[in-house]
Amino acid sequence: LSERSKLPSHLALALVANPDADRETSEQYMLKSVEQIAGWCRAVGIRRLTVYDREGILQESFICCLHPK
């Protein structure tokens, strides 16, 4: 990795589900991706991470965790 003289304070991540994968597989992949990127941001000092999920897969996952059936 190359050294940078300036580091962004905010990183935006746009997630797109794989159209060939089922919803659960996409959810697990997205969650793992966000977890890894959040760790990288923390390690290098990026303080804000925004995640865009056009299909709402992660939002549905979060709501299900808060309000299980």
Q: What is the mean pLDDT of each run of 10 residues along the chain (69 residues)?
A: 78 92 90 92 93 86 57
pLDDT at 46: 94
List CB contacts of 52: < 8 A, sequence separation 6 or more.
12, 13, 14, 15
What pTM was estimated for this model as a whole?
A: 0.74
pLDDT at 59: 80
Is residue 7 within 8 Å of 45, Cβ to Cβ? Answer: yes
pLDDT at 7: 87
